[in-house]
Structure 1
Amino acid sequence: MIDIFKRNLKIKIISIFFAFFMWIYVMAEVDPIILKDYDEVPVKINNIDILQENDMVLYPEPNLKSKIILRGRRSSIKDIQKSDLEIDTNLKSPKIGKNKLDLDIDVPSNISYTIIPSSIDLNVEENIYTKKQIVIKTTNGSNEDLKVDKISYSPKSTFIEGPKSLVEKVDKLICKVNLKNKSKDFNSKAQIIPVDKNGKTVEGINIRDQYTYVDIGFTKTKEVPLVLNLKGKIGEEYKLLGYDLNLKTINITGKIEQIDAIKDIYTQEIDISNLRESRNINLNINIPQNIDSDIKSVNVSFEVAKLVSKNLTIPSKRIEYKDNIHNLDISKNNLPDDINVKVTYIEEIGRDVSEKDVQIFVNMKELNSDPAKFRIKYNIPIEVESVQIDPEYVVIGE
C-alpha cells in the first residue's frame, strides 16, 4: 500500500504544488481582496440619555460622522451600502468639559476596517434653566402726532434653557412690535428673542414661551384754536374795542378718539359786564378730562373805551333836500322847527361835537311812497358810534 504512494512521488509533489498555486490564482483573480471607502457615516452615541439625567448637554454640537475604510473579499464587501453601516461609541461617565470617546463598528469577522478619525471629542456643559424678563421694543413709529401711551403684555417673563455658556450670554429677552401704518390702539403676538448685551440674537437657546401677547395704546397730539369764553355785555357807556389772546392755539394730547372729537378749546368764562377800562387778565384754560396740555393758562388783553353821548338841537330849516327830481313842494313837510340829534362817540377821540358839526339831509331820489316819505340822513366829520335823529322821517305833501 505504501508503495503505491511512493511511485512517481516527484510527479505527485509537483502536481500538488501546481494545484495549490492554481487555487491561489483562482482565489486571487476570481474573488480578490478590495478596499471600499464610506464618507460621513453617522456615529451613534450609546447611553446619551445620561446627559439629561445629570443636567448636562453637548455643546457645541459635535460632528457625529466619520469615514470608514473596509478591507475584505469583494464577495463580502460589494453589497455593503453606507446605510448599512453605523459607528458606535459609548458615553459611560460624562464629565463637564472634554470627553474623548473611541469609535467602533460591528462588521463580519472576515472584514477589517479603519475609522477616520478613530475617536471623537465631545464637549459637555452644564444644562441650566433660568428665568428672564421680557422687554418690548417698538419699531417704525414714524407718526410724530402719535405716541405710545400704554404697553401691556403677557407673559412678562419666561424661562430659558441651554448650555451654561450660551445662557450666560443672554442679557434679556426682547419682542419687537412694528408700529408702521398703525393709527389706533391694537394688539399683537410678538416672538420672544434672546439677545446679548450688544443686541445680537443668541442662537441655540430653548425658550418655554415662544410668544408674548402685546396691547399697544396710543395718545395723539393735535393743535386746536383757543377761544375766549365771554359772558355778559359791556355797559352802555363803554365799548369793547377788542381783545387779544397771547396764544391763538394750543397743543392737546389724549386718546385718539377723544382728540379727534375736539375742534377747539375754551378759556374759563369771564364776565365783561363790569369791564370799565383796558386791562390784562390771566385766564385758566378749560382742558377736558383725560386730556393733557403743557399750557394751563393764557393772558388776554382787553381794550375798552368810554362812550360820550350828546344831545343836539338842529333847526329843521338846515335840512338839505337833495335831487328833488320829482319837483315836490318841500315847504309842505311835517317837520317841527327843531330836530333832536343824539350823537354817541368815543371819549378818546379828543374833541367835542356841536350842532355845527352835524349836517342833515334827505335824498329825494328815494321816493317809494305816497305821500312822499324820506329818511333823514346825516354827515359828521368825526367817527361816531351812533346817531339817533328825531323825527326819523320827513313827509312831504301831506
Structure 2
Amino acid sequence: MIKLFKHNLILKCISLFLALGLWLYVMNEQNPSITSSITIDLSVINAPGDYQILHNNDKINLKVKAPRSLFASINSSDFKAYVDLKNAKEGTEALPVHIQIPKGFELLSSTPLKVSFTLNKIIEKSIPVDLILSGQPANGMVVAKVKQSADTIVVKGPRPEINNIRRAVGYIGLDNNKEDFKVIVPLRAINSNNKEVSDVTLLTPTVNADISLARGLTRKVVTIKPIAGSDLPDRYVLDALKAYPDKVEITGDPKVISTVNFLDTESISLKDISSSQKKAVKIAIPEGITVSNDTVTVDIKISPKKTDKN
C-alpha cells in the first residue's frame, strides 16, 4: 500500500491541487460573494424605567457582504442594531450603535455610527388649580361664590415639561343658570405662556365645584394693579409691570363694591428674574368680593442697571 501511495506522488499532488482549484472556481462562479444594503430598526436595551427617552433616529443602514446562498436563508430580522442605556445619564448624549450580524456575513459599514439620545427624569410637582367661569347666569343673577374641592393637584411627567407648568385650569359654563349647582370640572396643565402641556399626567384630572348664585349683588369693572416684590437682584432695574387683562369684573355686596376701585395682585417675586418675561399671578381678592377669573398674566420688563464710568 505504501508503494502504491508513493507511486507517481508528485503527479497525484498536482492533480489534487488542480481539483481543489477547479472546485473553488466552480463554487465561486455558482455561489459568488455579493454586497447588499439592509435597513433595520434600532432597538434599546437597559432603558431606565423612570425616564422619558427620546432619540433622533429609528433606522440603521447596513452594508454587508456574503456568499449569495446565505442571503437566501436570512431576512432583515436576523440583523440587530441596538444602543445600550445602562450607563446613560439625564440629558442629551450621542451613544454608539452596536451591530450583530449572522455568521458568514461581513459588515462593511453601518450608518449612523452614533445616535443622539435625550433622557428626561420623570418627576412630580404640585401646581395651583384655577377655575374660570364662562358665559352668564340668568338675568338678575350673579355668581356669589365658587367653592372647589382642591386648590392644588399633582402633575407628573418629564422634568423639562413639568418645570414649565404653572397651573391647572378648568372651565365652568354658567349657561343661564338660575340656581346653585355642582359640577365636575376637567383640568388642563398650563405653561407660563398659557398654553396647554399635553405630555404630562394629572394625578387628579378633575375637581368638584359648588357654584352659589345670588340676586341683588352689584357688578363693577375695576383695574388690576400688579404688585412687585422687593427681591429684584441689585444689578437689574424694574422698568414696567403690565397685567393682561388689566381690568376685571367683580361682584359683591353693594357696600363692599363701592369701596373697591382696583384690585392688587399678590406680590410678584423677582428673585429669579434675569430677563423680561411673563408670569401668571393671582389677584388679591378682598373678603366679600367675587371675580370671574382670579389669575392674570403680568408682563415683567427689566433691564441691567447702568453704572457710571469714571
TM over 0.5: yes
Moved more, 12-21 or 110-119: 12-21
TM-score with structure 1 setting the length = 0.46
Counterpart in 1 of 2:29?
Answer: 25
CA offsets per residue over residues 21-51 of structure 1, 9 Å max, x none?
A: 22221222xxx53414225x142231424xx
Aligned length: 216
Distance 1:194 1:90, change over 3 A: same
CA contact 1:146–1:219 (8 Å) conserved in 2: yes
Question: Compared with structure 1, are the counterparts of its residues 109 and 13 closer, same or farther at alpha carbon in structure 2 (3 Å cutoff)?
Answer: closer
- Code of the aligned partner of 1:46: N
User: Is the aligned partner of 1:137 residue 2:158?
Assistant: no
Query: How many Å separate the matches in 1 of 2:13 and 2:115?
Result: 61
Provide, for residues 361-398 of structure 1, a one-character-per-residue CA deviation record: whole Å limited to 9, x for no partner: xxxxxxxxxxxxxxxxxxxxxxxxxxxxxxxxxxxxxx
Q: What's the TM-score once normalised by structure 2's chain length? A: 0.58
Shift of 1:174: 0.7
- Asked if residue 102 in structure 1 is aligned to residue 96 in structure 2, the reply is yes
Distance in 1 (CA, whole Å) between partners of 2:151 and 2:202 is: 13
Partner-residue secondary structure (3-state), 2:116: strand
Which residue of the partner structure matches residue 190 of structure 1? 185
Q: Given the alignment, which residue of 179, 202, 208 partners 2:203?
A: 208
Q: Is 2:64 aligned against 1:67?
A: no
Counterpart in 2 of 1:278?
A: none
Shift in alpha-carbon separation, 1:46–1:78, aligned structure 2, 3 A: farther
Show the 5 A alignment for 1:69-218. Answer: 69=62, 71=64, 72-78=66-72, 80-82=74-76, 86-113=80-107, 114-141=109-136, 143=138, 145-218=140-213
Corresponding residue for 2:43?
A: 43
Change (3 A) 1:122 1:219: same
Q: CA deviation at 1:20?
A: 3.2
Q: Deviations over 1:98-130 (max 9, x none)?
A: 233212133323223444222222223444322
Deviation string, structure 1 residues 34-69 (Cα, Å, up to 9, x no partner)? 414225x142231424xx3xxxx346x324622232
Aligned to 2:264: none
Q: After superposition, where does 1:1-398 map in structure 2 within 5 Å?
A: 1=4, 2-6=6-10, 17-28=21-32, 32-39=33-40, 41-49=41-49, 52=50, 57-58=51-52, 61-63=54-56, 65-69=58-62, 71=64, 72-78=66-72, 80-82=74-76, 86-113=80-107, 114-141=109-136, 143=138, 145-220=140-215, 252-253=216-217
Cα 1:140/1:91, change in 2 over 3 Å: same
Secondary structure of the structure 1 residue equivalent to 2:29: helix
Distance 1:14 1:77, change over 3 A: closer
Percent identity over the alignment is 15
Name the CA shift for 1:78/1:69 in 2 (closer, same or farther; >3 Å).
farther
Change (3 A) 1:101 1:153: same
List gaps (5 residues or longer) in structure 1.
221-251, 255-290, 295-398
- C-alpha spacing 1:124/1:43, structure 2 compared with 1 (3 Å): same
Whole-Å separation in 2 of the counterparts to 1:110 and 1:210 = 56
Indicate the SS of the match to 1:165: helix
The structural deviation recorded for 1:83 is 5.1
SS at match of 1:171: strand
**Aligned residues of 1:66 and 1:115 also touching (Cα < 8 A):** no
Distance 1:186 1:105, change over 3 A: farther
Q: Structure 1 residues 46 and 138, CA, compared in 2 at 3 Å: closer, same or farther? A: same
Unaligned ranges ≥5, structure 2: 219-251, 256-310
Match of 2:305 in 1: none
Determine the C-alpha separation between the residues in 1 that align with 2:205 and 2:125.
Answer: 15
Question: Which whole-Å CA distance do the structure 2 matches of 1:73 and 1:10 have between them?
Answer: 28
Contact kept? 2:168, 2:189, Cα under 8 Å: yes
CA RMSD after TM alignment = 3.3
Q: Which moved more, 1:64-73 or 1:2-11?
A: 2-11
SS at match of 2:192: coil
